[in-house]
Amino acid sequence: MGVVNKKDDAQMNHLIGALPNDEFIRLKPNLEPVSLSLGEVIYESGEQLKYIYFPTSAIISLLYIMENGSTAEIGMAGNDGLVGIALYMGGSTTPSRAVVQSAGNAFRMPSLALNDEFSLGGVFQKILLRYTQSLMTQISQTAVCNRLHTVEQQLCRWLLINHDLLRTNKLIMTHDLIANMLGVRREGVSIAAGHLQSKGLIKYVRGTITMLDRDALERAACECYRVVKDEYDRLLGKYIS
């Protein structure tokens, strides 16, 4: 007791949990726990960022909003990642919006403290850069996935990612919201979801989706899911193992 311990709440975020003790102790005073509610906008497109967020139980979605109002998700971050890359990459902001997709908790850290620690060039910097590369893989794969795969395959992929981050089979999410994430029509999601339900992979009623057969979902998803997951493990596995 009294000793700052890595088996702390902050541990629940894999990136924070991967830090060596000395770096963690230095950072800890700057980590402020916050509670994030569904739909909350963490960052608006083009807005100067003040904090970087390390989700623990929350899931945050990175969305692009086009001029005509349609939206599409380019990436997702949960306790495996962070939100606010632009702060240490030098841009201070991005053209995307960050929205809370699943309510929960996170730690946030002010820009100044972040940059102080980042510039020391320690493990913190290494992890942040590696995570950034992993996010680039996620975004890249989303790009090709949007081009080459069907809505149903993409829905499977999206459900699997959520499953990994939530670690529960129940997902509170309407078809309409999923459609906004995938950048397709609500009907398209309804049809794909109906198909998956009839095959027994999922079950849903009014805003909650239950995943019944994860293995089958993986088989029904496109390769993109696995590529991104494997690349994350390759880049960060040795830290968070």
Partner DNA sequence: CTGTGTCCGTGTGATAACGCACAGATACAA
Partner DNA sequence: TTGTATCTGTGCGTTATCACACGGACACAG
Asked if 191 contacts 160 with a C-beta cutoff of 8 angstroms, the reply is no
Residues 135-154 that bind DNA (CB under 7 A): 150-152
76's CB contacts (< 8 A; 6+ apart) are 59, 60, 61, 62, 101, 138, 161, 162, 165
Kindly give the residue spans of alpha helices, DSSP state H, lying in 53-149: 86-89, 111-118, 123-148
Q: Is 71 in the site for DNA (CB under 7 A)?
A: no
The helix (run of H) or strand (run of E) holding residue 159 is: helix 151-166
Q: 76 or 151: whose CB is closer to DNA?
A: 151
User: Any idea which residue has 């496109």 for tokens?
Assistant: 222
- Nearest approach, Cβ of residue 137 and a second copy (Å): 6
**Residue 55, strand partner residues:** 106
Q: 132 or 190: whose CB is closer to DNA?
A: 190
* AA letter at 236: L
**Span from 7-15, 37-45, 109-117, 183-191 in contact with DNA (CB under 7 A):** 183-191
- Nearest approach, Cβ of residue 175 and DNA (Å): 4
Q: 131 or 204: whose CB is closer to a second copy?
A: 131
- Nearest approach, Cβ of residue 139 and DNA (Å): 19
Interface with DNA (CB under 7 A): 150-152, 174-176, 183-188, 190-191, 193-194, 197, 204-207
